Amino acid sequence: STRQVWWLHGARDGTEHPFAKESRDLIAALPNAKSTVYYSRPTDTDRQGVDYLEASRLSAEPVRRLDLPTDADAYLCGPAAFMDSLTAALVDCGLDASRVHTEIFGAGPAITPGIKGASTAPAPHQPAGPPGTGPEVSFARSGLTIPWNDAQESLLELAEACDVPVQWSCRTGVCHTCELALMSGTVNYSPDPVEPPAEGNILICCSKPEGGVVLDL
């Protein structure tokens, strides 16, 4: 690809820099890629100019100095506080907020399935729009049965359209946050989960019903 790629990475030092050589080699193979690596506390064996560029945290201040293209798409991965401050910095640099995409790396807020919060979320209901013509999807705990609609990309999307309480994180079959019991029926996956769910469970973020299904939701 001849597209511009800016690779920004922050680590404490070279011992905490995963895939350092792999990412360096991949970036070197792209004609218009730039790499900027920050070590907050480089060790004596870390080589400035080779392993890292600057002894600093990857934070708003150095990013503002980079003169990033303002029409870029940004993909951030890291702890929530890091992504919040970097998102603000990128928007400050002129990027459109809708083009800054984030994925949490590290602990997220607590997930407390089965505990009813003080939420004012509406009760589960039929989805808006014309009914689907596919097999029946039953949300057992919510007492809701709906014909599958191919307009939905996944069972998770259908549950969300019905305000059925769900939990999720990656939405691509990686984290298993959306894993739950399939009480009957079978599903198809797209994409396939990185690791299969436990026996009798499914990942609803990347699956669709093959026939009628009953979900523990």
Give the integer Cα–Cα distance in Å for 106 and 85: 16
| Contact letters for ligand FES, residues 139-178 (x by CB under 6 A) | -----------------------------xxxx-xxxxxx
Residue 119 Cβ, how far from ligand FES at the closest point, in Å?
20
Closer residue to ligand FES (CB): 10 or 197: 197
Give the integer Cα–Cα distance in Å for 197 and 199: 7
Closer residue to ligand FES (CB): 26 or 174: 174
Closer residue to ligand FES (CB): 42 or 173: 173
Using the rule CB under 6 A, is 215 a contact of ligand FES?
Answer: no
Is 53 in contact with 37 (CB distance < 8 Å)?
Answer: yes
Residue 172 Cβ, how far from ligand FES at the closest point, in Å?
6
Name the residue whose CB lies closest to ligand FES.
Answer: 205
In the numeric block, which tokens belong to residue 16? Answer: 């905490």
**CA end-to-end span of the chain, whole Å?**
44
Q: Figure out which of the listed residues 58, 205, 215, 217 binds ligand FES, where binding follows CB under 6 A.
A: 205
Give the integer Cα–Cα distance in Å for 159 and 213: 13
Binding-site residue total for ligand FES (CB under 6 A)?
12
In the numeric block, which tokens belong to residue 138? Answer: 């039953």
Quick one: 80 exposed, middle or buried, by C-beta within 10 A (0-12, 13-18, 19+)? middle
Give the integer Cα–Cα distance in Å for 179 and 75: 25
Residue 62 Cβ, how far from ligand FES at the closest point, in Å?
32
Binding interface with ligand FES (CB under 6 A): 168-171, 173-178, 203, 205
